[in-house]
Amino acid sequence: MFELALNDYASLIPLFRLPHNGAEVAGAVLSGHTQGKVFVSARTDPRSAFVYDNGFCVLAGPVVNPDFAKACLQWLYNHLHQDFFYPLPES
């Protein structure tokens, strides 16, 4: 999983053109209207992308790479301000 710099966000716009849930979140980040984070599956020719914006998450493209999917989930678990995953109580 590779984080994109802000000036590289525009390269992902074609990946997000297909209708999908969360398109407005991804569009706001990719256009620079909100300060989110964008991660891709590969530095060159990314086929999948993960966009995070203040608690909202969007995946685009086929997530055929299980390592990318696992890295996205791990990033969410480790994110400093996350409040959407809670540890289960030990029994």
Q: Mind listing the pLDDT tens digit for each residue in 53-65?
A: 887 888 888 767 8
Identify which has the larger pLDDT, 12 or 85: 12
Of the candidates 33, 68, 86, 75, the residue with the CA atom closest to the CA atom of residue 52 = 75
Report pLDDT for 89.
63
> pTM of the prediction?
0.78
Q: Mind listing the pLDDT tens digit for each residue in 11-30?
A: 887 877 766 667 778 888 88
Q: Mind listing the pLDDT tens digit for each residue in 29-47?
A: 888 888 889 999 888 878 8
Domain boundaries, given as residue ranges, for the chain = 2-78
Identify whether the C-beta of residue 71 lies closer than 8 Å to the C-beta of residue 22.
Answer: no
Report pLDDT for 9.
87
